[in-house]
Amino acid sequence: MGNKFGIENLKKLLTVFFKFVNVGDKMGHENNWGSRMSHLFGFFPTLMTLGSIEWSLLDDEIKDVDDSERLGLTSWAKQEFDIIDDKLELLIEEGLDFAAYVGGAVVRIKAFIAKVKDYFKK
């Protein structure tokens, strides 16, 4: 199970990504450059949080996310998305569910393979 700091660290990175997508979506729905630029300038404080991420912890934390944390991250991510197009938002949310499912399957497959290897080492 991952440590709480690591999950919060991962959330910082994902927040920047989700807000970037949200800003792009909002800019695409504007009809003038002034409005588009205001969305972009509003994104800069979020971009600055990249400096507070403990990059050295991310790889291990991503590998260590358990089922409970994965479900929590998926639920949290769905709340972070604020896409104007509701159909697109639903599609993204379904993609997040699918990614969590695949991630869980990969972890289980690796654990199973490790057990098989250990069995044959005996």
Distance CA 91, CA 86 (A): 9
- Whether the pTM exceeds 0.85: the reply is no
Question: Which amino acid type is present at position 43?
Answer: F
- DSSP letters spanning 46-109: HHHGGGG--HHHHHHHHHT--HHHHHHHHHHHHHH---SSHHHHHHHHHHHHHHHHHHHHHHHH
Rounded to 5°, angle at Cα 75 from 72 and 78: 145
Digit-by-digit pLDDT tens for the chain (122 residues) are 445 556 788 888 888 888 888 888 888 888 889 888 898 888 888 888 888 888 887 777 777 777 788 888 888 888 877 777 777 777 777 877 777 777 777 778 888 898 999 988 87
